[in-house]
Structure 1
Amino acid sequence: MAYAQALKRTEVSDTLAPERVLIVDDHSLVRDGLRSILEFRYSGAEILEAGDFAEALDMLAEAQEVDLVLLDLNIPDASRLSALQQLRSDFPSTPVVMVSGVYDRQTVEEALEAGAAGFIPKSMKRDQIVDALEQVLAGEIYMPGELAEDPQAQEEASIRERIDTLTPQQRVVLGLLVNGRVNKQIAYDLGVSMTTVKAHVSAVLQKMNVYNRTQAVILANRVGFTS
């Protein structure tokens, strides 16, 4: 069994081995670590390095083709996911894997929703990083296993799905509930009648499958909802 798995992994690596990879990170030690992993696994690949996002854009513009980009989540000359979003816009056929020392479920999900092909914690072991990269090169989306299997994450995803069913006006009302506004204040803020506010609140409670506004606020806060 172990031999078969090793053989299969070798076949996948040989078939999908990247020819050129760009590492974008402002810490040279991180770049060195990723480079050593890539060179060990993909000995024939050309490894490019950029210390900031501007340099990365220049390299991508000059390079004929890059098979994979490993992008630091907190690259200094970009704000949060703006670098990822620009790469997805300018180089849509190039998979981008986010790499970060600190991460949480919401950040990982936001990165994947923004088009990342995977999210790799810097704390992962060498073999785990290789496995993650091979999944990406095979066309899959990689998410850290401890997050993918977290029951709490599934519940949070369910809450977001319920919130997504709200109309724009109902989302505004939920946001006001989260901010502690009572019906009379909501009516004043929105310039509508109390009857309209009550109808919106009732719809919010029904769609979120809760019995009162307190429960709705608790669920909204669990997923960091803002209108």
Structure 2
Amino acid sequence: MAELTIIIADDHPLFRGALRQAVGGLEGNNSFIEAGDFDDARRCAEEQPDADLMLLDLAMPGVSGFSGLMALRAEFSSLPIIIVSATDDPATMRRAIELGASGFISKSSGIDDIRTAIRTVLEGDVWIPASCQSNRDQDADMADLINRLRTLTPQQSRVLGMLGEGLLNKQIAYELNVSEATIKAHVSAILLKLNVDSRTQAVIQLSKLNQPALVA
């Protein structure tokens, strides 16, 4: 296996170290880039356009649940992303895959399982845990919501995630370094794509992704 560049995005330094140890057992002299929050993860992906893989924690500071995955998946479409999470119920795993993740690793997984998942994704396949494969039932409303969320642009996904954190338009504008009018336009587009009438309803739709379990 050729030398790899892997971005490890998790806010817990000890777990970043554990992932680094697991990945370090793969063949080759691999390089690792660590990120402790969502903005760092995004910047790493931007600065490393040839990165081979990102290991992304769903509970990263600076983003709300699946909105970070959606934004990164839309902006860096060629970068495989494996979700790493302590919340490993079938619904969470399935939704991660449906929203564009190339794999899902539970934080309770052993090193051998982590390496198997990473090898599978690096070979171009999708790693789906057995418990996810055995539970594929999904209601039509959730399928429709996921399809609508996948139509959002990277910036719209980020704005929706910030709405989910309770930020006002002016606060989002400041964080993204754009005008408040631009944020209002994004919010209008989000409401249209999600077929809702208010930002509150949009946040409620986003929160449905994290049910029945909270992302952690």
Identity fraction in percent:
35
Q: Residues of 1 paired with 2:131 and 2:52: CA distance?
A: 27
Query: Structure 1: where are the runs of 5+ without partners?
Result: 1-13, 166-222
Closer/same/farther in 2, CA of residues 164 and 45 from structure 1, 3 Å limit: closer
Closer/same/farther in 2, CA of residues 44 and 110 from structure 1, 3 Å limit: same
Which of 106, 111, 115 is matched with 2:96 structurally? 111
Mapped pair 1:59 → 2:34: no
Asked if the contact 1:73–1:99 (Cα under 8 Å) also holds between the matched residues in 2, the reply is yes
Q: Residues of 2 paired with 1:115 and 1:18: CA distance?
A: 25
Aligned to 2:54: 69
Deviation at 1:43, TM superposition (A): 3.9
SS in 1 for 2:79: coil
Deviation at 1:64, TM superposition (A): 4.0
Deviation at 1:105, TM superposition (A): 1.2
Asked if the contact 1:69–1:97 (Cα under 8 Å) also holds between the matched residues in 2, the reply is yes
Number of equivalent positions: 146
SS in 1 for 2:101: coil
Q: Residues of 2 paired with 1:115 and 1:93: CA distance?
A: 11
SS in 2 for 1:85: helix
Closer/same/farther in 2, CA of residues 39 and 110 from structure 1, 3 Å limit: same
Aligned to 1:31: 16
Asked if the contact 1:120–1:132 (Cα under 8 Å) also holds between the matched residues in 2, the reply is yes
Mapped pair 1:89 → 2:74: yes
Query: Structure 2: where are the runs of 5+ without partners?
Result: 145-210
Closer/same/farther in 2, CA of residues 164 and 119 from structure 1, 3 Å limit: closer
**Per-residue CA distance 1:86-114 (angstroms, 9 max, x = gap):** 11111100000000012211111111111
**48-57 or 101-110: which moved more?**
101-110
Deviation at 1:18, TM superposition (A): 5.3
Mapped pair 1:140 → 2:125: yes
Higher helix share: 1
Closer/same/farther in 2, CA of residues 65 and 164 from structure 1, 3 Å limit: closer
Q: Residues of 2 paired with 1:56 and 1:163: CA distance?
A: 28
Q: Residues of 2 paired with 1:122 and 1:64: CA distance?
A: 27
Q: Residues of 2 paired with 1:129 and 1:80: CA distance?
A: 22
Counterparts of residues 31-50 of structure 1 (less than 5 Å): 31-50=16-35
Closer/same/farther in 2, CA of residues 143 and 164 from structure 1, 3 Å limit: closer
Counterparts of residues 209-224 of structure 1 (less than 5 Å): none
TM-score normalised by length of structure 2: 0.62
Deviation at 1:42, TM superposition (A): 3.6
| Higher relative contact order structure (alpha carbons within 8 Å, sequence separation ≥ 6) | 2
Aligned to 1:177: none
Which of 125, 141, 149 is matched with 2:110 structurally? 125
Q: In the alignment, residue 69 of structure 1 is paired with which amino acid?
A: M
Aligned structure 1 segments of 4 or more residues deviating by more than 2 angstroms: 160-165
Over aligned residue pairs, what C-alpha RMSD do you find? 2.2
TM-score normalised by length of structure 1: 0.59
Q: Residues of 2 paired with 1:24 and 1:57: CA distance?
A: 9
Q: Residues of 2 paired with 1:117 and 1:146: CA distance?
A: 16
Task: Indicate the structure (1 or 2) with the bigger Cα radius of gyration.
Answer: 1
